[in-house]
């Protein structure tokens, strides 16, 4: 390990050799910001989740980039190269054949001409968000900032704007913590379909544009740029690259050292330039993997992010690093993210769920968004289990959101204006909730987690509650208003009150009238007002109990 010429940094060069051979797997050139965290699991397990994240509970995410230009939904840059896929058909209709007009050319069309980040982030803040995350790069490998290591970026082409930089300034102006999401680790294999060609029809056998090089651009709009910096396809692909699941079982050639190093450099570039408080990696465990010593990249990135935050914040680490599928032990070092999922009970280690109200990338053909009611119910459930919810609001190609999305945001904001006391700054109670919904769900989503959103056929009932605590108050959030206007919270029956504490007051957030209640052997019985206060969850504030802060 040798100290470089940057203050507070260390320069590490490592080469990993296959045992019994002289073949180099890859080489690394890794910087490490000086500080208490080292690039090892043992060191990173000393991490402590910052209070700002634990208090925030609700963030909004802009999952926006050039794949939104066609307004045709998720994974467009990949699916447009799969003959027969609906996005392939859309591409043919809109732009022509992908041998002549590829995703690189879609980038050129994306201008984001009505992008107003300050207006959008102000809207997100009014909806109750306490932090904002902007996408820095998706699987399409197109950097949305003035990238030092990726020429294919939003400053050089497309909008010719520093998207991440503008998001960061807007978040700061609105006093929101700022984060970035990074998805490009998998571009190497994700884009392999761009090497293919049609199997049938008049264009059968004519290669798509995935193998073009800088020499092919003479006289074209992208002259001087190498498409391989975008597509990364100078390698042998998987024979089943069109099927992502089978591709993982039968992969093509492994990513090169240069590819891995470039990804690493790009992550540090965006972190150094914009100093986010949160970095979301769309990866299991660590970006670039955990085999053959490749975890050194991810561990080094995490140590850098934490150490830089400590330098910026007078010795206090304020950084969050999200990854997925973490074990209990790994969650001591990183913040686990459940994509469109929720825990089944309280996780004592703070975590995050992320979800979208529509398609991750804007889809103009989408018939309906998730309702504000569904989002609020999901938020309440997540917070009761010691988690945060990061909600993506799809953005159109031009940089605006539609009226239906604004309606959802407005309704969430109105609910949080009344009930936010039971959300922000809270900690879990001894149990997360009661009622049929706490025991009946055996569903799992595609990743094995409990689904975040409940099916319409399985609605919450008046006996379903979620609990949070703050300042010695217990909040019982009812997930369905009873027709009788009477409820009973069985977890608060007298026999369960170990210290024999007496509840002194029960109030309904947002209501002026005093509530009638009694604590019996059946539970806390409360009579609600005759007029239904709101169409979704309501909150009872319960005083007199001693609640411990976790």
Give pLDDT, residue 542.
Answer: 98
Give pLDDT, residue 3.
Answer: 35
pLDDT digit string, tens, across residues 173-196: 999 999 999 999 999 999 999 999
- Comparing CA positions, the residue from 335, 347, 407, 410 lying closest to residue 381 is 347
Domain 433-543: state its class. Answer: mainly beta
Element (H, E) at 76: helix 76-79
User: Taking a C-beta distance cutoff of 8 angstroms, is the pair 177, 390 a contact?
Assistant: no
- Comparing CA positions, the residue from 321, 362, 326 lying closest to residue 341 is 326
A 10 A CB-CB count for 52 gives: 14
Give pLDDT, residue 458.
Answer: 87
User: Taking a C-beta distance cutoff of 8 angstroms, is the pair 99, 207 a contact?
Assistant: yes
pLDDT digit string, tens, across residues 466-503: 999 999 999 999 999 999 999 999 999 987 555 557 89
Residue for token pair 């963030």? 59
What are the structural domain ranges in the chain?
433-543
Q: What angle do CA 356, 357, 360 make, to 5 degrees?
A: 45
Give pLDDT, residue 546.
Answer: 75
Give pLDDT, residue 439.
Answer: 86
Q: For the chain, which residues score pLDDT lower than 70?
A: 1-27, 440-448, 496-500, 547-550
Give pLDDT, residue 5.
Answer: 34
Q: Which residues of 317-327 are buried (b: 16+ CB within 10 A; e: fewer)?
A: bbbbbbbbebe
Query: Measuring CA to CA, how many Å separate 131 from each of 57, 172, 173, 382, 425?
Result: 9, 10, 12, 16, 13
Residues 6+ apart with CB under 8 A from 244: none
Give pLDDT, residue 15.
Answer: 42
Q: What is the full DSSP assignment across 464-486?
A: -EEEEEETTEEEEEESS--TTSE
| DSSP E strand stretches across 382-491 | 387-392, 433-434, 450-451, 465-470, 473-478, 486-489
- Comparing CA positions, the residue from 214, 242, 208, 243 lying closest to residue 226 is 214
Give pLDDT, residue 440.
Answer: 59
Element (H, E) at 43: helix 41-44
Distance between first and last Cα of the chain: 40
Q: What angle do CA 220, 226, 228 make, to 5 degrees?
A: 130
Q: What is the pTM of this model?
A: 0.94
> What are the backbone dihedrals phi and psi of residue 136, each rounded to the nearest 5 degrees, phi first?
-95, -35
């Amino acid at each position: 390990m040798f100290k470089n010429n940057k203050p507070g940094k260390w320069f590490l060069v490592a080469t990993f050799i296959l045992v019994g051979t002289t073949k180099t797997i890859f080489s690394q050139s890794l910087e490490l910001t000086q500080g208490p965290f080292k690039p090892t699991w043992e060191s990173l397990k000393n991490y402590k989740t910052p209070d700002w994240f634990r208090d925030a509970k609700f963030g909004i995410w802009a999952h926006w980039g050039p794949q939104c230009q066609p307004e045709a939904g998720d994974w467009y840059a990949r699916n447009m190269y799969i003959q027969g896929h609906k996005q392939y058909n859309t591409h043919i209709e809109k732009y022509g054949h992908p041998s002549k007009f590829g995703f690189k050319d879609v980038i050129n069309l994306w201008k984001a001409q009505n992008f107003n980040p300050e207006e959008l982030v102000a809207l997100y803040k009014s909806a109750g968000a306490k932090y904002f995350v902007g996408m820095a790069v998706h699987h399409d490998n197109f950097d949305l900032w003035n990238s030092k290591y990726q020429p294919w970026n939003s400053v050089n082409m497309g909008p010719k704007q520093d998207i991440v930089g503008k998001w960061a300034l807007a978040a700061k102006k609105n006093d929101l913590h700022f984060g970035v999401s990074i998805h490009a680790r998998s571009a190497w294999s994700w884009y392999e379909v761009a090497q293919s060609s049609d199997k049938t029809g008049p264009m059968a056998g004519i290669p798509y544009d995935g193998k073009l090089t800088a020499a092919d651009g003479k006289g074209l709009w992208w002259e001087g740029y190498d498409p391989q910096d975008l597509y990364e396809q100078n390698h042998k692909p998987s024979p089943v690259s069109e099927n992502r699941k089978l591709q993982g079982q039968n992969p093509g050639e492994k990513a090169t050292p240069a590819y891995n190093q470039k990804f690493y450099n790009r992550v540090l570039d965006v972190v150094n330039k914009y100093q986010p408080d949160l970095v979301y990696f769309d990866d299991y465990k660590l970006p670039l993997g955990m085999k053959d010593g490749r975890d050194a990249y991810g561990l080094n990135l995490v140590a850098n992010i934490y150490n830089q935050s400590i330098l910026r914040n007078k010795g206090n680490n304020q950084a969050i690093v999200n990854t997925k599928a973490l074990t209990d032990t790994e969650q001591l070092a990183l913040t686990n993210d459940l994509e469109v999922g929720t825990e089944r009970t309280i996780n004592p280690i703070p975590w995050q769920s992320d979800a979208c109200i529509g398609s991750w990338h804007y889809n103009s053909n989408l018939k309906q968004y998730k309702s504000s009611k569904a989002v609020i119910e999901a938020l309440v459930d997540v917070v009761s289990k010691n988690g945060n919810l990061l909600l993506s609001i799809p953005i159109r190609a031009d940089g605006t959101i539609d009226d239906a999305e604004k309606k959802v945001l407005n309704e969430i904001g109105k609910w949080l204006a009344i009930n936010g006391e039971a959300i922000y700054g809270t900690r879990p109670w001894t149990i997360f909730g009661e009622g049929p919904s706490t025991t009946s769900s055996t569903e799992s989503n595609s990743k094995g987690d409990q689904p975040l959103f409940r099916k319409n056929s399985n609605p919450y009932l008046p006996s379903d509650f979620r609990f949070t605590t703050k300042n010695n108050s217990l909040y019982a959030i009812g997930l369905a208003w009873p027709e009788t206007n009477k409820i009973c919270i069985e977890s608060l029956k007298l026999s369960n009150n170990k210290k024999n504490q007496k509840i002194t007051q029960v109030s309904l957030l947002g209501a002026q009238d005093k509530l009638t209640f009694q604590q019996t052997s059946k539970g806390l019985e409360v009579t609600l007002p005759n007029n239904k206060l709101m169409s979704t969850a309501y909150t009872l504030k319960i005083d007199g109990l001693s609640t411990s802060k976790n």
